[in-house]
Chains A and B, each alone.
Chain A
Amino acid sequence: SYELTQPPSVSVSPGQTASITCSGDKLGDKYVCWYQQRPGQSPVLIIYQDHNRPSGIPERFSASNSGNTATLTISGTQTVDEAAYYCQAWDSTAALVFFGGGTQVTVL
Chain B
Amino acid sequence: QVQLQESGPGLVKSSETLSLTCSVSGGSVSSGDSYWSWIRQPPGKGLEWIGYVYFSGSTNYNPSLRSRVSMSVDTSKNQFSLKLYSVTAADTAVYYCAREMRRGSNVNWLDPWGQGTLVTVSS
Which residues of A approach B to under 8 Å, CB–CB?
1, 30-31, 33, 35, 42-45, 48-49, 54, 86, 88, 90, 92, 94-102
Q: Does B56 contact A (CB under 8 A)?
A: no
Q: Does B107 contact A (CB under 8 A)?
A: yes
Interface residues of B in 3-18 (CB under 8 A from A): none
A52, closest chain B residue (CB)? B109
Stretch from B67-75, B79-87, B98-106 contacting the other chain: B98-106
Residue from the set B47, B49, B115 with the largest chain A CB neighbour count within 10 Å: B47
Contacts of A49 in B (CB 8 A): 103, 107, 109
Residue from the set B52, B106, B109 with the largest chain A CB neighbour count within 10 Å: B109
Contact check, B106 vs A44: say whether CB atoms are below 8 A apart: no
Shortest CB-to-CB span from A9 to chain B, Å, is 13
For chain B, the bracket of interface size reads 20 to 34
Shortest CB-to-CB span from B50 to chain A, Å, is 9
Contact check, B116 vs A90: say whether CB atoms are below 8 A apart: no
Q: What CA separation (Å) do A68 and B106 show in the bound complex?
A: 17
Contact check, B60 vs A99: say whether CB atoms are below 8 A apart: no
Q: What CA separation (Å) do A42 and B106 show in the bound complex?
A: 25
Contact check, B110 vs A86: say whether CB atoms are below 8 A apart: no
Contacts of B49 in A (CB 8 A): 96-99
Contacts of A33 in B (CB 8 A): 108-110
- Having A92-B105, A96-B60, one finds 8 other A-B pairs with CB under 8 Å, namely A31-B108, A33-B108, A42-B96, A44-B111, A49-B109, A54-B111, A86-B46, A90-B108
A-B contact pairs, 14 of them (CB 8 A): A1-B63, A31-B106, A31-B107, A31-B108, A33-B108, A35-B110, A42-B96, A43-B47, A44-B113, A45-B110, A48-B109, A92-B108, A96-B60, A96-B62
